[in-house]
Amino acid sequence: MKNIYYYDTILGKIGIAEENDQITNLIFDNEQIEEDTDLKETNIIKKAISQLNEYLGGSRKRFELPLNPAGTEFQRKDWLALQQIPFGKTVSYKDIAEQIGCPKGARAVGLANNRNPIPIFIPCHRVIGADGKLVGYGGGIDKKVKLLELEGILLNK
């Protein structure tokens, strides 16, 4: 059974979902989660919000959580690559495409990032356009800017 619990954060309301002691989703504001999900704060969700609060407070740079995002083989490959981007660094969609063996797949990487069910923990906010522009974020560009600034990344707005 999948469980979810909601928290107020500096980014607004966030829901963290888990199934079988693995984080499966992080949702912003009023995004919808599957209907068969119980509202329950489990131990792994408590651990996840604790680490998220440490990150948002500036004392955590790396998450240590069991993640299990549902997606296609390509998406999961993309999401694994995203987890290798160091705190405080950005890469382009093209960089990720090349890293996962699909050098002409920058658009496909963008689509996979857009479908990332566990943003922040899987840091798709660290991916920017090849020209340095911020080109979309599921939670909204304002959240992407806030996350990048939190990591000390200077942005040309």
Residues recognised as catalytic: 124
Residue 21: C-alpha distances to residues 31, 50, 60, 123, 131 (Å): 22, 15, 21, 20, 39
- For the purposes of burial, counting CB atoms within 10 Å of the CB of 39, is it exposed (0-12), middle (13-18) or buried (19 or more)? exposed
Spell out the alpha helix ranges (H) of 21-72: 43-56
State the Cα–Cα distance between residues 71 and 75, nearest whole angstrom: 6
User: Which residues in 119-134 are b (16+ Cβ under 10 Å) and which e?
Assistant: bbbbbbbbbbeeeeeb
